[in-house]
Structure 1
Amino acid sequence: MASQAAKRTIKEVKPLLSLDHTEARQRVLNLYKAWYRQLPYIVKQYDIPRTEAQCKQKLREEFSKYDNIQDVRVIDMMIIKGQMELKEVVNIWKQKGHIMAYFKDTVEPKPKDFLSKFLSGKD
């Protein structure tokens, strides 16, 4: 009785792009390859002070940052956003600062000792 009620409350959701994990994985790999192929042109067009090897390493880091996501719909949404980002970069709709923002450290360590706190203006 309880399982029938649970079955009625569970809602089926429509997939965005992929039907299963293998298809989503293939789409992620295709997006990664597309970015990888465009990196030499991106480095040259934007004239960023990074080598291709550094950019490839950063690309790998960005993709591996989200490797623990299991929901196919979330993966599909991130694929769509990655494709949009690639198109913006390739068409030079972004500026050099947007590209260099990927290389900026996101977490700045907080000062621990008195002198560091004083110099940074913290209490």
Structure 2
Amino acid sequence: MTTIPSRLASVSAISGTQQIARQRVRALYRDWYRSAPQIVSLYALNISPSMIREKKRADFERHRGITDVNVIDMLIFKSKQEYQETMNCWKTEAHVMSWFRKHEVRAPPTTFMDKFLAGRDDPQVLLPWQAENNH
């Protein structure tokens, strides 16, 4: 499959009013919604298009309360960038499936190895100069 980098490229626009920003958000949501079946087939995902639609709906809903037009424009830009990368196949299946793993709640690490892999220090194991600073 040939990739045309400019296929979905667009100039960054600034919304003058909240009404214009709202229209741009709706158009972007429609693009994501309509492209869900194509995303599933492009990446040969073992999920239904409705799952992608639900995830994207949740992403848009998470930012529903934002009223600052500049912030809305920035979020539109980021979402359009993600849309272009996705539709031009600049991602792998793992990238697309990571959308569904981002917000999983994990149990806190309990073993040393789990804490180490999570990047946390074990408070029971301190070096001598660290123990002096903690008291």
TM-score (norm 2): 0.69
Structure 1 residue aligned with 2:44, among 44, 47, 60?
47
Contact 2:40 2:48 in 1 (8 A): yes
Deviations 1:66-106 (A, max 9, x none): 11111100100110111111111111011111100100042
Structure 1 residue runs of 5 or longer lacking an equivalent are 1-15
1:32-111 aligned within 5 A: 32-111=29-108
Distance 1:76 1:34 in 2: 16
**2:16 corresponding residue in structure 1:** 19
Contact 2:32 2:53 in 1 (8 A): no
Structure 2 residue aligned with 1:29, among 4, 26, 30?
26
Distance 2:104 2:39 in 1: 26
1:62 CA drift (Å)? 0.9
1:121 CA drift (Å)? 4.7
Structure 2 residue runs of 5 or longer lacking an equivalent are 1-12, 116-121, 123-135
Deviations 1:18-61 (A, max 9, x none): 11111100000000001111111000110112111111111111
Q: From the superposition, tell whether residues 107 and 52 of structure 1 become closer, same or farther in structure 2 (CA, over 3 Å).
A: closer
Distance 1:121 1:85 in 2: 32
Distance 1:24 1:82 in 2: 13
CA RMSD, 1 decimal = 2.0
Runs (4+) of structure 1 moved beyond 6 Å? none
Distance 1:35 1:121 in 2: 37
TM-score (norm 1): 0.75
Relative to its length, the structure with more helix (as a share) is 1
